[in-house]
Amino acid sequence: MDRKSAILITFAAAAFGLSACAAQHSQLSLRETAWLAADGQLEALSSEPHVDREALFVAAMDSELADHYASPESLRNDLLVGEFLFEAPLLLGGQAAKAGISCHSCHVNGTDNPHFLFPAISGEAGTADTTHSFFSKSLGNQTFDPIVIPDLTMADKVDHSMKSGELEAFLTTIIIGEFSGAAAPSSTLAPIATYVRALRLSGPRQEPIRNPRSLTQDFADLRLAVDQAMHRARNAESELAALLLSSGQSQIRSIHERVNRTSHTHLRNWLIERSREMGALRQRLNARDPDAQNQLAALQERLRSMPDITDAEADSLYNPEVLAKALRQ
C-alpha cells in the first residue's frame, strides 16, 4: 500500500470517528481518539486547560480592542462567538471539517496540544505538518516537515495590533491555504481575531490548570452558542449564525458520543433530534428564510427544557473512571 492510500484510509477512519481503539471497542467511539496519542488520551479526553472568559474580557477591555467596539457587551459577545467558531470544524472546511478537526483540536482553549497525533500528519505527539497536501491544496510541499504546535497565548512573529491587520491576513491564510476552506467574511473573521488577540493579551499560562470535562458545562456552552446564533440572526448576520449552529452540532456530537448508549437512550435521541433541527436551521439561515428566527427561538426553548442530565454524567465517558476503563479495554 502506498503512502497516499494509507493516509486516505486513516482519514476515512478519522472522519467517522473510527479510530483503532474505537473500532475494536464499540463502547468507546470518541471521534477525538483519531488524533490523540494513546498515552495521552485519558488526560486529553477527561480535562482541558482552564480558560477564564472573564480574564479574557478584562484583558481585551484594557487594550486597543475596546476602542473598536460600540459597547463592552458587544466585545464580550464577540469573544464568545470567536471561541465557538474556534471550535467549529466547518470554519476550516476541506478534509479537516470532514474529520471533525477545528482550531481547538490543535490549540486546546488557545494553548497547544501536546497529545495531538494525527496519523501521517504528525511526527511526534504535539506536532503537525502544516504544509501537507492532505489538508492543503495550495501549500502542500511534498515534504514531511511537522512543526511543534504553538501556544497562542505566547508571542510569535505575527503582529496582533488592530492597525496592522496582520492577524486577520494570517487567519485567512490558515483557513484558505492550510486547510483549503472558504474565505471567511469580515463578520466571521472579526470575532475569531478578537478571541485570538485576547488569548495573547491575557498572557501565557504557566503550568496551566486543567478543568475536568463536564456534561453540564458542555450543555451550557451549547445553549450559549445557540443564543449567539439568534443574536447574529437578528443582526442580519445569517451566515455567521449558521456557522455558530454548526459549532453547536459539533458540540452535540461530542456529548452524544460520551453519553451511555444503554442507560440514557432518551437523552441520546433528544440530542440527535436537536442536531437535525440545527442542520435544517442552517439551511434556512443560509437561504435567508424569514422564518428562521422563529425556528431559532423554538430551538432555544427546547434547549431550556432539555431532559434531566443529573444522572447522565456518572455513567458516561465524562466520568474519568468510566473513561479510563473504556480506554483500557
Helix (H, G, I), strand (E, B) or coil at 128: strand
Q: Does 7 score more than 80 pLDDT?
A: no
Residue pair 243/188 in contact by the 8 Å Cβ criterion: yes
The H helix count followed by the E strand count for the chain is 15, 4
pLDDT at 136: 83
Q: Does 5 score more than 50 pLDDT?
A: no
Positive or negative CA dihedral for 249, 255, 258, 260?
Answer: negative
Residue 118 CA: distances (Å) to CA of 4, 37, 181, 243, 301: 15, 8, 19, 25, 38
Q: Does 34 score more than 90 pLDDT?
A: yes
**Number of other residues whose CB lies within 10 A of the CB of residue 203:** 12
Query: Given pLDDT bands bounded at 50, 70 and 90, which one contains residue 6?
Result: very low
Q: Does 128 score more than 60 pLDDT?
A: yes
pLDDT at 61: 97
Query: Given pLDDT bands bounded at 50, 70 and 90, which one contains residue 2?
Result: very low
Query: Given pLDDT bands bounded at 50, 70 and 90, which one contains residue 203?
Result: confident
pLDDT at 1: 38
Name which of 70, 67, 293 is nearest 197 in CA terms. 67
Residue with cell 432539555: 306
Residue pair 82/230 in contact by the 8 Å Cβ criterion: no
pLDDT at 18: 35
pLDDT at 133: 87
Cell of 97: 471539517
Q: What is the mean pLDDT of residues 5-18?
A: 42
CB < 8 Å & 24+ apart, contacts of 8-14: 10/119, 10/120, 11/95, 11/98, 11/99, 11/134, 14/99, 14/100, 14/118, 14/119
Mean pLDDT for the chain overall: 90
Residue 123 CA: distances (Å) to CA of 145, 176, 230, 301: 8, 23, 41, 46
Q: Does 70 score more than 90 pLDDT?
A: yes
Structural domains for the chain: 36-115+123-201 (1.10.760), 214-328 (no CATH)
Least confident of 70-79, 116-125, 200-209: 200-209
Residues 6+ apart with CB under 8 A from 162: 64, 65, 68, 197
Q: Does 10 score more than 50 pLDDT?
A: no
Q: Which run of H or of E encompasses 42?
A: helix 41-46
Q: Does 21 score more than 60 pLDDT?
A: no
Least confident of 42-51, 103-112, 136-145, 300-309: 136-145
Q: What is the mean pLDDT of residues 38-50?
A: 96
For the stretch 144-187, pLDDT in tens is: 999 999 999 998 889 999 999 999 999 999 999 999 999 999 99
Query: Given pLDDT bands bounded at 50, 70 and 90, which one contains residue 27?
Result: low
β-pair partners for 210: 49
Give dist(CA 322, CA 310) in Å, integer: 16
Q: Does 12 score more than 70 pLDDT?
A: no
Question: Which amino acid makes up residue 281?
Answer: L
Residue 271 CA: distances (Å) to CA of 25, 115, 309: 23, 28, 12
Give dist(CA 63, CA 260) in Å, integer: 45
Q: What is the mean pLDDT of residues 70-95?
A: 97
Residue 47 CA: distances (Å) to CA of 51, 133, 216, 282, 323: 12, 32, 14, 30, 11
For the entire predicted model, the pTM comes to 0.89
